[in-house]
Amino acid sequence: MIDLVLSDEVAAARADGTPVVALESTIITHGMPHPQNVEVARQVEQDVRDAGAVPATIAVIQGKLHIGLSSDDLDWLGQAEGVAKLSRADFAACLAQGGTGATTVAATMIAARHAGIEVFATGGIGGVHRGAETSFDISADLNELAQTPVTVVAAGAKAILDLAKTLEVLETLGVPVIAYGQDAFPAFWSARSDFKAPLRMNSAEEIARAHRLRGGLGLPGGQLVANPIPQEAEIAATELAPIIAKALFDAEKHRITGKAVTPFLLQRIFEQTDGRSLTANIALVRNNARLAAQIARKLGDLSA
């Protein structure tokens, strides 16, 4: 019933059992400026290939769900105007109406599961926003992690969020939060936050086994793998703190709400760091893509 369009390499991978890694597209349309967005998307896809898996960038184009984008699709999407930012609530509506939308973490997880893909790499997940006690702004990504059995590799949650509340909600929802190779929960542009991650794993194999065992227990939901940004690429949290505070202040002043909040904050931080936030963002996404490919390969070695 759903019009699925597989890229050639994803179709081939399915036929011969090569592991596949899902990639989101909101980071392309709403997370990074053109033309870097398209360059990064290609680079991240190549990182997945170099690590022995096949990339499947996911998006809805004119009512069709694409699992893997062609080079032309990627070029087009990277500069298209008015592309929706799709999450759980509006995914099916976009398909029904023949619309075009980029998939957030939540929507990419839904699509990945639908296509039989178990691992997904992104930059950072959405979470509980600062001031959520009055705004109620909690990303649908968190609920999705509780419901959809996909392992998501991210660099933690963005420091624009309330990390303490984000970790609390993830715990409440029963989502395993696994720091990779360190104890601290990473903070996106910075390798370490002040918070300890609930779980720590040091190998892709452990993460893959935990994924399988959750399935074996019949638990719904996925895992959040929090992979710290490589140290040479990080921006110190102390340097970012005033920039984030200013961005949040501006968002309030301009009465930015709903889906527009995260893209607005990212753009402001990009401007205020003279583009250094983007350089860091690129390094961490690539790092996540490589780890996700390793996990996908280990999952392929373990029986379902």
Q: Which does 223 bind (CB under 5 to 8 A by kind): ligand PSU, Mn ion, none?
A: none
Q: Which stretch binds ligand PSU (CB under 6 A): 73-81, 123-131, 215-223, 245-253?
A: 123-131
26 makes contact, choosing from ligand PSU, Mn ion, none, with CB < 5 to 8 Å by partner type, with: ligand PSU
Q: Is 287 a residue that touches ligand PSU (CB under 6 A)?
A: no
Distance CA 195, CA 289 (A): 24
Compute the least distance from the CB of residue 24 to ligand PSU, in Å. Answer: 5
Round to whole Å and give the CA distance between 8 and 16: 12
If binding is defined by CB under 6 A, does position 101 make contact with ligand PSU?
Answer: no
| Smallest separation (angstroms) from ligand PSU to the CB of 144 | 9
225 contacts 178 by C-beta, under 8 angstroms: yes
The minimum distance between CB 231 and ligand PSU, in angstroms, equals 19
Site for ligand PSU in 18-37 (CB under 6 A): 24, 26-27, 30-31
8 A C-beta contact, residue 230 and residue 198: no
**Of all residues in this chain, which one has the CB nearest to ligand PSU in the complex?**
31
Rule CB under 5 A: which residues touch Mn ion?
Answer: 137
90/205 with CB nearer ligand PSU: 90
Residues 6+ apart with CB under 8 A from 245: none
Please say if 158 is a catalytic residue. yes
CB atoms within 10 A of CB 173: 14
Residue tagged active-site, from 85, 158, 259, 298: 158
Spell out the residues 6+ positions from residue 44 whose beta carbon is closer than 8 angstroms to its own. Answer: 23, 55, 121, 285, 286, 289
Q: How far is the CB of 256 from Mn ion (least distance, A)?
A: 10
Find the angle CA(104)-CA(247)-CA(154) to the nearest 5 degrees.
35
Told to check if 68 binds ligand PSU by CB under 6 A, we report: no
Q: Pairing between strand 101-103 and 54-61?
A: antiparallel
Between residue 242 and residue 261, which ones bind ligand PSU under the rule CB under 6 A?
Answer: 259
- Cis before 35? omega within 30: yes
Q: How far apart are CA 189 and CA 157, in angstroms?
A: 9
Q: Is 24 a catalytic residue?
A: yes
Q: Which does 31 bind (CB under 5 to 8 A by kind): Mn ion, ligand PSU, none?
A: ligand PSU
Q: Residue 27 binds which entry of Mn ion, ligand PSU, none, with Cβ cut-offs from 5 to 8 Å by kind? A: ligand PSU
Q: Within a 13 Å sphere around the CA of 275, how many CA atoms are in the beta-carbon half?
A: 4
Separation CA 209–CA 42 (nearest Å): 29
Residues 6+ apart with CB under 8 A from 190: 159, 229, 234, 235, 236, 237, 240
* Under rule CB under 6 A, residue 281 binds ligand PSU: yes
CB closer to ligand PSU, 109 vs 179: 109
If one asks whether residue 222 binds ligand PSU (CB under 6 A), the answer comes out as no
The residue ranges that bind ligand PSU (CB under 6 A) are 24, 26-27, 30-31, 104-105, 123-124, 126, 139-141, 259, 262, 266, 281
Residues taking part in catalysis: 24, 158
